[in-house]
Amino acid sequence: MFAIGKASQKSGVHIETIRYYEREGLVPKPDRSAAGRHLYTADEIAKLRFVKRCRDLGFPMSIIQTLLSLNDEQGRSCKEVKSMAEDQLVAINAKIESLERLRAALQSLSASCDEGTSSCPMLDSLMSEAPTVPL
């Protein structure tokens, strides 16, 4: 049994964030010591670590909630998990593509921006009705 500081260290989730997850019902509030402190079991810490990894993978909390319940459920969870992972992959790919388009636009605007000129081509383009760069 570990206090919240240890649980935070072992899971990699900040103390404040653990409390936030508990408030939001993403993970259950653990039992307490006589003095009213939360005490975490190894299982509860594993759950926190799971949440952290999923967040790092870009899953929103609502999806993580579902994943946690699939995990508790045992059984034919794998198919659903895989499909959620694939949805997430699609979302990540979309984000990457949109950032790449953005980068191209910014690079082209930035390249037009030379040092000596009195007005700024980049600002002018962004202000104009028909921009020189597609977004």
Partner DNA sequence: TTTTGCTCCTGTAGTCGCTACAAGAGCTAT
Partner DNA sequence: ATAGCTCTTGTAGCGACTACAGGAGCAAAA
Distance CA 67, CA 98 (A): 27
Binding partner selected for residue 102 from DNA, a second copy, none, CB under the kind-specific 5 to 8 Å limit: a second copy
Q: How far is the CB of 88 from DNA (least distance, A)?
A: 11
**69 in helix, strand or coil?**
helix
Q: Examine residue 34 and tell whether it contacts DNA (CB under 7 A).
A: yes
For DNA, the binding residue among 1, 25, 37, 95 (CB under 7 A) is: 37
State how far Cα 110 lies from the chain centre: 30
Q: How far is the CB of 116 from DNA (least distance, A)?
A: 31
Query: In 33-115, which ranges are continuous DSSP H helix?
Result: 42-56, 61-73, 77-112
Q: Examine residue 8 and tell whether it contacts DNA (CB under 7 A).
A: yes
